[in-house]
Structure formats: structure tokens, C-alpha cells
Structure 1
């Protein structure tokens, strides 16, 4: 038997015993799709998500208490992916400078490729404190930021960076990356330089002198 959606749209087959987690994943994917299509989390409601999945709205309560909990799940998933992308890019290089450049490029790539998810990651005002959650995700983009801090510290230890304050310089670097993502999204018609300036910005703010 299928669960009847609220608006009469095609229904989704009822999960077999033990398949509840799959429905939870479908709900998060549906909310993500709504945010990506519309560019805002305001379109995420129990009814809109239920319609997207093909279930009745009350079926959601077995997995989420309200729409805010659904959006928070989308945010936490975006945090995890951003962290994973940056971490993978950094660890793919033995040279710390190359790793830093790759990590920063991965950060910008995520924000550029996923503008709606990136925006809701920082704009969502109701993220619970880390101590109140059952997972290990840090808040907002801080886990990805800490990867950059550690990598900049590695550059200093290797004698490649003249930074005397890796944390402060990493904050300046993160600010530049975040600003670049948002400006590119907000002003797509601006005559941005054809050459990618990311490397120049990273080397400057990380106080790294390029090797001749």
C-alpha cells in the first residue's frame, strides 16, 4: 500500500520494515532540491517536501519534528560535504602550499557549484549548538576553516610561509574566499578578470612567497 500525498500527486511506495532511514534521506534530498531550485529555504514546508517525495505530510513526523529540523538536516549535510571536499583536496598533496591552494580552490568550487546550499549554510539562523547535537559536525563552515588553519600552520613549519599568526591570517583568507563566492553569485555580470585570482589572493594572505 502507498502513502497518499496531500495533493493527490503520484504516491511513493510505503517503506518495508527497516527502511525508515531511506525515507529520512528522501525527505532531506527533497528539501535540498527545493532549496536548490528556488534559492531559498523559505519554500521548504512539510507540505512542499511531502509533495516532492510523494508521501503524506504527517509521515514526516516520524523523522523530523518540524520544517526547521528538515532545513537543519540540509545545512548539516552541506557542512559535511564542504568539509569533505576541502579535506580531500588538501590531503591529496604532500606539499603544504599546493595543499592550501587546492583546499581554497575546493572551498570556492563548492560555493560556486552549490550557491543555494552554500547560502543557506551561512544564513540559516537556527542551527543548534554543537553540544545539543548527536553528530560531530561543527557549526557553519568552521570545520572546513580549521582544515585551512592546520594547513597554513604546516606551511609555516615547512618554512614556506612567513605568517606569525596562522589563525588570524587564515581568518583573513576565509573572509576573502567567502566574499569571492558571494560576490560572484550576486554580480555574475560584473567584468571579473579572466584570469583566476584565487592563487594570488591565497599566497598573499597566507604570506607565502612563490618559488621562482
Structure 2
């Protein structure tokens, strides 16, 4: 039997001469593709910069190599979305983790969310500003459990907000009778505060920190 040609360090190559991935290296290449897409997004500041050619060039591979791991450009964007949602969740959890007072914990999580939007505008716009054909419709709390698993995971950072408001109610520090609905109103208002500052940067808005405090205290019916 004819021996299969080998590349550097004994790695098997295809008939066309391209070095094949060793066992287990496919996942590594996938991660490199996603990392390249993240770098492009951060550097260029908009999702339009993510094309198959640009991502492949950034990763140092040929464009056809991407198809082994991603069906198309949108699949790469979805992978970037997963990482960004997880990053947001960890930022919120880190902000609230050592805070004992329930009101201050709620405020800390909301400040972390707003700061993420202002500090990382490109990723924020990909998370909450792009049109999605499969976007989930959330009509009431019971619908959360009916969402696809990927969206349940992506909403984990929002559920931290819901839980924080529920703790305020439990401690007698909030007059909310529906923490889920009121947390949704807080989230919507925070999103508006962030996007107003991103898209109308010269408008004389009050400082973001003061805005977050005011919105949360009023909408979550916080009792001092």
C-alpha cells in the first residue's frame, strides 16, 4: 500500500498538499476562526467587516477552510454572539458577586451592563442591534423555558437582573409585584440609555452612572 504523504512533523497531507489537522486540532482551528472574527469586530467596529474572506485572512487560512467548521458567515457571527453573551454574563456576575446589600447588588449589575455597552459598542450592537430571522418572542415569564436552549443560555445575564430585583422585594426594599416584568422594563430602559449615547454622542445627556441609578430606582420601585 502506498504511504500517505506527510507534512511537517509527520502531519498527514491531502493530495493537494494542504496539511490536514491532527486529531483534536479541528476544534483549535474553529477557535482561531472565531478569535479572528472577534479581532476584526473590535478593530473595525462593525459587523459588516466580518466576511468569509476577511475572517480567513485574519486567521491566516484559506476561505474554503472555514466551511469545515462553519456553514456560512452568519454561523461565525453566531459563535461570536455566544462568546459576547457569556462575557456579559460574567461581567455582571463579577460586579454583583461581593455585594451584600440587595439594592446595591441590583445597581452594580445594571452598571456593569451599561458599561459593557459603552466600552464595547461593536459587540453590543451585534448582541442587541442586529436583525434576526429567528429572533425569539418573549411574551411572559413562562416563555423563557420554551425558548431554544441557546437563547435560554444567552439570557442568563438578564436572569441575574431578575433574581437581584426579586431579592430586593424579599428584603422589603422594592415595591415590585412582578420582578420579571419590572426587570424587563429596567433592561429596556438601560438599553435605551446606552444606545442614545452611542448614536447621539453630542446630545447633552446626564452622566451614565446617574442615569442608571435613577432608572433602576424608579422602575424597580426601590425603597431607600
Give the TM-score, by structure 2 length: 0.78
- Contact 1:121–1:140, Cα closer than 8 Å, also in 2: no
Equivalent residues, number: 198
1:40-79 equivalent positions in 2, closer than 5 A: 40-79=46-85
Structure 1 counterpart of 2:185, from 144, 149, 172: 172
In the alignment, structure 1 residue 200 sits paired with structure 2 residue 214: yes
Deviates more, 1:184-193 or 1:137-146: 137-146
- Contact 2:92–2:157, Cα closer than 8 Å, also in 1: yes
Structure 1 counterpart of 2:25, from 16, 19, 30: 19
Q: What is the DSSP-based 3-state SS (H/G/I as helix, E as strand, rest coil) of the residue aligned with 1:48?
A: helix
Q: What is the DSSP-based 3-state SS (H/G/I as helix, E as strand, rest coil) of the residue aligned with 1:196?
A: helix
- Contact 1:137–1:143, Cα closer than 8 Å, also in 2: no
Deviates more, 1:116-125 or 1:98-107: 116-125
List alignment gaps of at least 5 residues for structure 2: 1-6, 9-18, 137-144
Counterpart in the other structure of 2:116: 110
Q: 1:132 Cα deviation (Å)?
A: 9.8
Q: Distance in 2 between matches of 1:195 and 1:67?
A: 35
List alignment gaps of at least 5 residues for structure 1: 3-12
Q: Distance in 2 between matches of 1:128 and 1:196?
A: 30
Q: Distance in 2 between matches of 1:54 and 1:186?
A: 34
Q: What is the DSSP-based 3-state SS (H/G/I as helix, E as strand, rest coil) of the residue aligned with 1:138?
A: helix
Q: What is the DSSP-based 3-state SS (H/G/I as helix, E as strand, rest coil) of the residue aligned with 2:74?
A: helix
Q: What is the DSSP-based 3-state SS (H/G/I as helix, E as strand, rest coil) of the residue aligned with 2:223?
A: coil
Question: RMSD over aligned Cα, in angstroms?
Answer: 2.6
Q: 1:40 Cα deviation (Å)?
A: 2.5
Q: Deviations over 1:107-147 (max 9, x none)?
A: 011111111111111215155879897xx542696322111
